[in-house]
């Protein structure tokens, strides 16, 4: 078996078509098919089957694709042993993050890299649905992703490292009738208008949970994914919004307060995703350590600020 054949099989297990595999590997669909056919000739059992218009993996194919991950990890370790990670300690590490995480972490990450002679970092922000975060690891070394508490875990073909468990609070204007309460129950929000995220994004499900507990479907006149824009709408209206406690910067909106929810544990996990072989690089591990330190600082109790007023 050749490594290219195993990588093609692994990529097919991660994507839903040969065309998608070809795009990810920067080759033609015909080249991918040839690699899979060559691999099949070496196997006594079928590795793929047709499922409508797409090509899917059989149980044997899934097992071999999982083994291909170990092969790539072993190759990465062998290469690092031979080269002793020559130059890798300062090699650029690409980091992608969703918007609020980027706002909270990118500045400190650049400062940490500069102050401690860590590798350079190349930063990118992405606004994607929860299920689309793992695919970003094909093009970025580290992906800061979030998923709602209670939602499915990340797929096994990526490695996840926890950064932060972040509660989601109710944001409202300081003169809102509910702002004087220390905690807010979902029933209190029954007649409120919401600033919500777009459909398919993690926090939308959390609002649905709150509305279900409160006993009435949420009224959502505004759908805005960027939390700072959502905060501006809350500040200019009687609407409420669900905002993360640690990564939302409300210093520009001192007229907004955050109040915790009572009777329901609404929050999100913020994790770093990476392909297994990428975590073998010394430079990547250094940047991951910086991200963990930044996340710990974000959740550390401190003096009162507008976001916790």
The domain locations on the chain are: 3-83, 88-165+268-308, 167-267
- CATH number of the domain located at residue range(s) 3-83 in this protein: 1.10.10.10
CA pair distance 151, 172, nearest whole angstrom = 26
β-strand pairing of 93-97 with 142-148 = parallel
Q: Which two tokens stand for residue 120?
A: 């350079």
User: Rounded CA gap, 127 and 98, in Å?
Assistant: 6
Domain 88-165+268-308 class?
A: alpha beta
Task: List pLDDT tens digits, range 268-277.
Answer: 999 999 999 8
d(CA 266, CA 166): 9
Q: Is the pLDDT of residue 240 over 50?
A: yes
Mean per-residue pLDDT, 34-44:
87
Amino acid 93: pLDDT? 93
pLDDT (tens digit per residue) in 6-29: 888 888 888 878 888 888 888 898
The average pLDDT across 223-244 equals: 92
Q: Which residues of 52-90 are buried (b: 16+ CB within 10 A; e: fewer)?
A: eeebebeeebeebbeebbebbbeebeeebeeeeeeebee
Mean pLDDT for the stretch of residues 142-169: 94
Mean pLDDT, the chain, whole residue set: 87
Into which CATH architecture does domain 167-267 fall?
3-Layer(aba) Sandwich (3.40)
The per-residue pLDDT for 116 is 77
Report residue 308's pLDDT band, with 50, 70 and 90 as the boundaries.
very low
φ and ψ at residue 244, rounded to 5 degrees: -70, 145
Measured distance CA(73)–CA(302) in Å, rounded = 41
pLDDT of the residue at 305: 41
Mean pLDDT score, 106-119: 88
pLDDT at 4 over 60: yes
pLDDT at 248 exceeding the cut of 90 = no
Q: Do domains 88-165+268-308 and 167-267 have the same CATH topology?
A: yes
Write out the DSSP string of the chain.
--HHHHHHHHHHHHSSSHHHHHHHHTS-HHHHHHHHHHHHHT-SS--EEEETTEEEE-HHHHHHHHHHHHHHHHHHHHHHHHHTTTTGGGS-EEEEE-HHHHHHHHHHHHHHHHHTTPPPEEEEE----GGGTGGGGGT-SEEEEEEETTSPPPPTTSEEEEEEEEEEEEEEETTSTTTT-SSB-GGGGTT-EEEEPPTTSHHHHHHHHHHHHHTSPPEEEEE---HHHHHHHHHTSS-EEEEETTT---TT-TTEEEE-BSSS--EEEEEEEE-GGGGGSHHHHHHHHHHHHHHHHHTS--S--GGG-
Q: How far is CA 144 from CA 106, 115, 278, in A?
A: 11, 22, 14
Instruction: Indicate if the pLDDT at residue 82 is higher than 60.
Output: no
Q: Which residue is listed with tokens 């979030």? A: 146
Average pLDDT over residues 192-214: 83
pLDDT > 90: percent of the chain: 42
Which pLDDT belongs to residue 159? 96
Quote the CA–CA distance of 145 and 135 in Å, as a whole number: 11
Q: Which of 57-61, 273-277, 300-304 has the lowest mean pLDDT?
A: 300-304
> What is each CA distance from 76 to 8, 72, 97, 254, 296, in whole angstroms?
17, 6, 25, 49, 30
* The predicted structure's pLDDT at residue 72: 84
Average pLDDT over residues 113-135: 89
pLDDT tier at 214, thresholds 50, 70, 90:
confident
* 234 band by pLDDT with thresholds 50, 70 and 90: very high
* Token digits of residue 192: 């409120």
What's the average model confidence in pLDDT over 107-126?
Answer: 90
CA distance 248 to 227: 7
């Amino acid at each position: 078996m050749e490594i290219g054949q195993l990588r093609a099989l692994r990529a097919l297990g991660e994507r839903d078509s040969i065309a998608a595999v070809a795009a990810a590997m920067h080759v033609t669909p015909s080249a991918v098919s040839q690699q899979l056919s060559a691999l099949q000739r070496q196997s006594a059992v079928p590795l793929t089957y047709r499922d409508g218009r797409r090509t899917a993996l059989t149980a044997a194919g899934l097992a071999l694709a999982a083994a291909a991950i170990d092969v790539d990890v072993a190759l990465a370790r062998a290469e690092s042993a031979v080269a002793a990670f020559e130059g890798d300690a300062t090699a650029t590490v690409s980091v992608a993050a969703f918007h609020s995480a980027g706002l909270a972490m990118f500045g400190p990450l650049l400062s940490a890299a500069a102050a401690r002679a860590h590798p350079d970092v190349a930063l990118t922000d992405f606004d994607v649905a929860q299920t689309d975060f793992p695919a970003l690891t094909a093009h970025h070394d580290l992906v800061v992703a979030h998923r709602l508490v209670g939602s499915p875990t990340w797929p096994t073909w990526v490695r996840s490292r926890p950064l932060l468990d972040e509660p989601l609070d109710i944001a409202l204007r300081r003169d809102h009738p509910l702002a004087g309460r220390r905690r807010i129950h979902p029933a209190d929000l029954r007649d409120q208008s919401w600033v919500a995220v777009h459909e398919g994004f993690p926090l939308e499900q959390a609002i649905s949970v709150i509305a279900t507990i409160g006993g009435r479907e949420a009224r959502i006149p505004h759908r805005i994914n960027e939390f700072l824009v959502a905060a501006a709408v809350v500040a200019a209206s009687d609407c409420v919004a669900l905002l993360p406690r640690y990564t939302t910067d409300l210093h520009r909106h001192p007229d907004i307060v955050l109040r915790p929810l009572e009777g329901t544990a609404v929050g999100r996990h913020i994790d770093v995703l990476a392909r297994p072989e990428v975590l073998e690089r010394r430079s990547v591990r250094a940047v991951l350590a910086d991200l963990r330190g930044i996340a710990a600082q974000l959740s550390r109790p401190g003096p009162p600020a507008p976001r916790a007023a």
